[in-house]
Structures are given as C-alpha cells and as structure tokens.
A and B are shown apart, each in its own frame.
Chain A
Amino acid sequence: MVRFLIRRVMLGILVLWLVTLAVFFIFFDLNSSGPESVAHRLGGRQATPQTIKLIEARLHLKDPLPKQYWYFLFGYPGQDVANGPPRNHGILPIGGSPHFFHTPDLGYSYINGENVNHKLWIAFPITFSLAIGAAVLWLGMGLLSGIWSAIRPRSLLDRGFTLTALFFYSFPTFVLGYVLLLLLYYYLTKAGHAWFPAGTYIPFTSDPWQWARHLLLPWFTLAAVTAAAYTRLTRGSMLDVLGEDYIRTARAKGLPERRVVFRHGLRAALTPIVTQFGIDLGSLLGGAIITEKVFSLPGLGYEAVAAITSNDLPVIIGVVVIATTAIVAANLVVDVLYAVLDPRVRLH
C-alpha cells in the first residue's frame, strides 16, 4: 500500500510538471513578440520602444526560453529591488535565496504587480466553499433519489426523479443560475423577502450563517446539474447490485430489508459513485468558471478568466497549478478509497 501510494504521488508530480511545462511554453511562445506580446500589453498603446525595452528587461522577457523556465522554477538570481519586483523564489519549494526551502512562489501579476500567491490565497477559499457545499448538496440529493428509485424501480417516484434529473441535466448552468437569480434573488428581494442575498462572498470564518446564505444559490445551481447525473448513476449502480446473488443471500439470511439495502446493497454500489465523485470534486476545485461568473464570486475560475483575457501568465500558471494539484490529489484519494471500499483491489 505504501509503495502504491509513493508510486501514485510520483506519477501525480510528473503530471503536474508536464502540465505546467505545457502551459508555460505555450504562453511564452505565443506572447514573446509582436503587438500582442506581454511587453506591449503592459506598456499600453502609447508605449515608446524604450518603455517596451525596459519592461522586457525587467521581466527578462527576451531571455532564452529555457532560461526563463529556470527563473520560473527557481526565481531570478541576484535580483535587486531597483530592477523590478523582488523575485528570489521560484515555483519549486527549494532553491533560490535567501532561504533554500520556502513555499512555492508563483511570482507577481503582470497587470498590477499583485502577489499571485496572495491573490490565489484569497480566491481559493471561495472556490473551495462553492465546491464543498455544492458537492454535499449534490451527493445528498443524488444518493437519496437514486437509492429511492432503485428500491422501487418504475414506480411513480422513480419516474418523477428521472424526469427531474433529466430536466436539470439538460439545463445549462448559466441559464439555471440566472433563472435562480431572477426568481429567488430579484423578485423575492423586490417583494421584500431578502432570503437569498447575492453578489458577495462572506468568509466562513467571519460568519458561517451568512457564508452559507450567500452561497446557497450558487450551490444549488452547481449541485442541480451534477445531482441529476448522480441520481442516474446511483440508480443504475444500485439496481445492478440489488440484482446480485449476494443480495438474495442477505435476504435469505433473514436480515431486515433496510440492512439489505444499505449495508449490503449501497456498500457495493458506492464504488463507482465514489470514483465519479472524486473526479468531479477535483475538477471543481480548479474553479467553477460559469457559476463564479454568474454569481460574481471572485474564485479561481473567475481569476483564471480575467488572467487569460489579459495574458497575465503568472496568474494563469498559478490557477493551473492549483487546479492540477486538486485533480491529481482527488484521483489519489479516489484510488485509496477504492482500496478501502473494495477488499479485492486492496494491495499489500
């Protein structure tokens, strides 16, 4: 198990490295020269060639690409304050000065010089809150309705759940988001019932109740689409399992039906659901672009879109690193959970 874990972590790091490498080279290659280049954008339309030169020199934009990649990994050597923003650390937690070991430094935004670490440190909790709340909601809704449907297949309730699931499944997030905003925020607030505030994020640490209230609509928007998929997944998985011989054995043992369904049925049906859940949650932690945009939540997805439209490479790479880490970590957790859930894949 330990060897398996080590192998998976190494593999995850390799994936992370390849992804950042790809993003780095694509963006630098595309943006090294021409009117759309980083230096031109930073200098603005009126920039003199001198200004452009100065920017290129300060950001080392004309250095050879491998050298720039080295800066990205380990920071600029011998950098002083007069020559641009201090950047003695790179994205790797080792190397650079004055301390050999440090937290990965994602550098400074090209647009406003903001520390990317700091920027993402603010954005990540928003995305995290959004993802976790939505995940709890969709898992709860999906599992409950899916199990119910599987216990009484082709019943009125099953058909109702299937219909609801298909309805939300085919609902684009941006439409559902705006519909909810219109009905539950705009009309309700206009009618004097401000139950669902919108547009701001209240940190959990400052007021958990307000945190939840402000996130309720985005949670539901995100959860409704995904819960629909989970209803179908749970229903299918449960129906398969409930038809298994060992379920008949459990009934033949004289176990109460509830124990048969949950202890014997759900336990086995959970494996594919857990797998899917890990992947979904992981990719959501990299930012829910549409939902964040619709509800004006400045999370990772929101920052990513802003950074991409302005070619703000350090921020783009920062978001990519976090998103990739989240997905790799989620997959690792899924693999471990898989072994915990199913003794047949347990590795010794």
Chain B
Amino acid sequence: MALLEVTDLTVSFSTPDGTLNAVRGLSFTVDEGQTLGIVGESGSGKSVSTQTIMGLTRGARVGGQALFEGHDLLTMNTHQLQAIRGAQVGMIFQDPLSSLHPYYRVGWQIIEMIRSHDKSTSKAQAKARAIELLRLVGIPQPDRRVSDFPHQFSGGMRQRAMIAMAMALNPKLLIADEPTTALDVTVQAQVLQVMKRLQQEFGTAIIMITHDLGVIADVADDVVVMYAGKAMEHADRNTIFYKHHNPYTEGLLLSLPAYGGERERLLPIAGQPPSLITLPQGCPFRPRCPYAFDKCMEEPPLVEIAGDPEHVSACWLPPDMKKREKMRQQLLDRDKAATAPAAAR
C-alpha cells in the first residue's frame, strides 16, 4: 500500500472575479522512502495541492481523496489532522527567513513541536533531542546554537533548522515546498544533501515541490509535471529528462541553461501561464504550445505512453514515441510553411 495516495484532487476558491480552479483533478502516489518531485511554474497548483491535503488552505472547496496510510486526510476533523501534522507528516517551506517565529528561540520551537505531540517527553529530553537534531542537520555547536533566535542564524542554517524541526518526530512523509528557492546555490546543495541523508537514515518519503529541474534531477524518484492545476506528465525521473512526451515538459527542459549541450541561447516558453479563473478551451497549454493543432481544442486525458504504465502524459500527440516524433516534425514544418511566404514578402 502506498504511503500517500491522492486521487482526483480538486481545489477551488471563490473570488470576486469568479471561481479560481487551483487544482483540477490531480492524482499521485508516494511510496515509503521514495521521493516524488512536483514541478511546475508559479501558480500551477503545486503548493496548493499539498497544503490542501494537510488542511492548511482556508476557504477552499476541496474534492477527491487523499489517503494517508489508508485514512482520508480530506475528511478528517481538525483534531485528527493536528495529530498527523508534524508527527506523521513534516513540512518545510520556501522562505526560511520568515518560516521560523522571530520571537522564539530555535530550540524552543523544536521543543514545542516535540512536546505538543508527545506530552510524556520531559523538557530536558526534548531539549537534548533538539540539540541532537540540530547536529544531524549540520548546525555547528548545536548545544549553543539551540538557544539562539532565528535572526542569529543564516538563511541556510534556518532552513536546516526547519528541516530539523520537521524531522523531530521521525515523520513518515516530509513535504518540502520549494525548500531551496530562497537560498544561495551553494547552500541549496548543502540543504538537499541534508535531506537526502536524513531520508536514507530514517526512510522518510519526501514530496519535493519545486520549479527547479536541477533539484528534481538531484533528488526525485518520480516526477509530476504540473500546469494550470493539472498533471501534464507523470513518470520516473529518467523518463522525464530523456524520454518525455509532453510538449510542456519539453519546454521546461529547453528553458534550462545546462540542458541541451552547445545551445547558446535559452529557449523560454513563450507567453504566460493561463488565468485559473478563465482557462483556455481544451488543453491549457495550447496557447503556448508550438505543436498545437485542431485536436487540442479538446482537453487531452492522461494516457499511457509507449506501453509504459508508469508513464502518463496529457497530450494529443501519439503515445508511441516514434509516431510522436514524426508528427512533431510535421507540425514544425507546418509552422515553417506558414511563415515562409511572409518572410519572402
């Protein structure tokens, strides 16, 4: 049985401008000890979906199912959820500068986490555990730094302290919501290193939410590519990087500096992500897709790609990779043919 099994999750908000569909039928599973990467642009619904699962979004209409060890998180009451948050599912967030309470000592915040879930732990025990955790995440002189305030920590140290706090009760699942986005590149690598080491040591499953494909390449086993509240493609890491099917995944990879060898210029995806209130008809990526054709006015379902049940993509290009490539070329030639006369004039 999967540790977390999310089926057909929908999240929408009422706004003065209309209903905002933040997540539109998202499904994924996370197995014990595995890392699931969720990648996508800002506003693709990646953070909202995990925060909704943990009951941290307010005023949202939620549909679907999120089974954590067989129990649906979406139908739990506040008390049941509170018992799971922190203890079973740890969470870390994007901005370590503002995610720790500025008025309380780092150690106090970790101790609070431990003692709020396990009342039998004494203060001294909890403090010893906090020091131990800070040592685990690589904070120098943890017995002294435990009584520092967050503003006495650097950004990277704060994120490590957040990880220490999230890992305090050996959660089965760690949801990391863009944990490295606000950090320097060198510090990013250290933080990812810490997470990977803890994962190996404790067998924690991780959901890594990021827009950084470099992070995905580093840590993820499986990858969900999200766009406009939907999964566009879902496969294991190598497939996503080397045998992806969806044009959106392709666009993301082409906009990476290191990817694609000798290319001098980056190829950004043209245009803007669609408004989640007024979505385009058919495939949400259609207005920005270089291969869009008439069929794309219908919304594509997630279909199995190249006979691999673990690889699904929502695109009308043929599921067979050879046929896909042929059609892709035809569509590119179509564009050239369409623009050539204009150029000749």
Q: Which residues of A contact B (CB under 8 A)?
A: 244-246, 248-257, 259, 264, 267-268, 341-344
| Cβ contacts under 8 Å, B101 to chain A | 246, 249-250, 264, 268
| Cβ contacts under 8 Å, A252 to chain B | 54, 56, 85-86, 90-91, 93
Smallest CB gap from B97: residue in A: A245
B99 near A343 with CB under 8 A, answer: no
Size range of the interface on B?
A: 20 to 34
| Cβ contacts under 8 Å, B100 to chain A | 246, 249
B117 near A254 with CB under 8 A, answer: yes
A245 near B103 with CB under 8 A, answer: no
> A254 contacts which of B87, B99, B103 (Cβ < 8 Å)?
B87
Find the residue from A252, A268, A341, A344 having the highest chain B CB count within 10 A. Answer: A252
Cα A321 to Cα B113 in complex, Å, equals 51
Given A245-B95, A245-B99, does the pair A343, B85 have CB atoms closer than 8 Å? no
For residue B102, CB closer than 8 A to chain A, the reply is yes
For residue B151, CB closer than 8 A to chain A, the reply is yes
> B102 contacts which of A246, A251, A257 (Cβ < 8 Å)?
A246
User: Can you list the 9 inter-chain pairs with the closest CB atoms, starting with the nearest?
Assistant: A254-B86, A254-B85, A252-B91, A245-B98, A253-B86, A246-B101, A343-B149, A245-B99, A254-B82
> B116 contacts which of A253, A267, A342 (Cβ < 8 Å)?
A253
> A342 contacts which of B84, B85, B90, B102 (Cβ < 8 Å)?
B102
> A248 contacts which of B93, B103, B149 (Cβ < 8 Å)?
B93
Smallest CB gap from B114: residue in A: A253
Cα A248 to Cα B102 in complex, Å, equals 13
Interface residues of B in 67-107 (CB under 8 A from A): 78, 81-87, 90-91, 93, 95, 98-103
| Cβ contacts under 8 Å, B98 to chain A | 244-246
| Cβ contacts under 8 Å, B85 to chain A | 251-254
Cα A244 to Cα B56 in complex, Å, equals 13
| Cβ contacts under 8 Å, B149 to chain A | 343-344
Shortest B39–chain A CB gap in Å is 22
Smallest CB gap from B95: residue in A: A245
Cα A254 to Cα B151 in complex, Å, equals 24
B112 near A254 with CB under 8 A, answer: no
B103 near A342 with CB under 8 A, answer: yes
Cα A342 to Cα B149 in complex, Å, equals 10
B103 near A253 with CB under 8 A, answer: no
Smallest CB gap from A264: residue in B: B101
Cα A257 to Cα B79 in complex, Å, equals 10
Selected A-B contacts with CB under 8 Å, 24 pairs? A244-B98, A246-B99, A248-B56, A248-B93, A248-B99, A249-B101, A251-B85, A252-B85, A252-B93, A253-B112, A253-B113, A254-B113, A254-B117, A255-B86, A256-B82, A257-B78, A264-B101, A267-B103, A268-B101, A268-B102, A341-B103, A342-B103, A343-B149, A344-B149
Cα A341 to Cα B104 in complex, Å, equals 10
Cα A116 to Cα B112 in complex, Å, equals 56
Smallest CB gap from A260: residue in B: B82
Cα A246 to Cα B56 in complex, Å, equals 13
Smallest CB gap from A343: residue in B: B149
A344 near B102 with CB under 8 A, answer: yes
For residue B220, CB closer than 8 A to chain A, the reply is no
> A344 contacts which of B78, B113, B151 (Cβ < 8 Å)?
B151
Given A245-B95, A256-B82, does the pair A343, B102 have CB atoms closer than 8 Å? yes
Shortest B153–chain A CB gap in Å is 12
Smallest CB gap from A252: residue in B: B91
For residue B131, CB closer than 8 A to chain A, the reply is no
Shortest A5–chain B CB gap in Å is 21
Shortest A280–chain B CB gap in Å is 23
| Cβ contacts under 8 Å, B112 to chain A | 253, 255
Smallest CB gap from A265: residue in B: B101
A249 near B82 with CB under 8 A, answer: no
| Cβ contacts under 8 Å, B296 to chain A | none
Smallest CB gap from A270: residue in B: B103
Cα A343 to Cα B117 in complex, Å, equals 27
Cα A255 to Cα B85 in complex, Å, equals 8
| Cβ contacts under 8 Å, A253 to chain B | 85-86, 112-113, 116, 165
Cα A264 to Cα B95 in complex, Å, equals 18
| Cβ contacts under 8 Å, A244 to chain B | 98
Find the residue from B56, B98, B100 having the highest chain A CB count within 10 A. Answer: B98
| Cβ contacts under 8 Å, B91 to chain A | 249, 252
Smallest CB gap from B85: residue in A: A254
Shortest B151–chain A CB gap in Å is 5
Cα A256 to Cα B113 in complex, Å, equals 11
Cα A245 to Cα B102 in complex, Å, equals 11
Smallest CB gap from A342: residue in B: B103
Interface string of B44-69 (1 = CB under 8 A from A): 00000000001010000000000000
Cα A259 to Cα B165 in complex, Å, equals 17
Cα A264 to Cα B101 in complex, Å, equals 7
B87 near A249 with CB under 8 A, answer: no
| Cβ contacts under 8 Å, B87 to chain A | 254
B116 near A254 with CB under 8 A, answer: yes
Smallest CB gap from B84: residue in A: A254
Find the residue from A249, A256, A267, A343 having the highest chain B CB count within 10 A. Answer: A249
Smallest CB gap from B56: residue in A: A251
Cα A257 to Cα B58 in complex, Å, equals 13
Shortest B247–chain A CB gap in Å is 34
Given A257-B78, A344-B151, does the pair A249, B116 have CB atoms closer than 8 Å? no
Shortest B196–chain A CB gap in Å is 21
| Cβ contacts under 8 Å, B83 to chain A | 254
Smallest CB gap from B81: residue in A: A254
Cα A341 to Cα B93 in complex, Å, equals 25
Shortest B256–chain A CB gap in Å is 28
Shortest A117–chain B CB gap in Å is 43
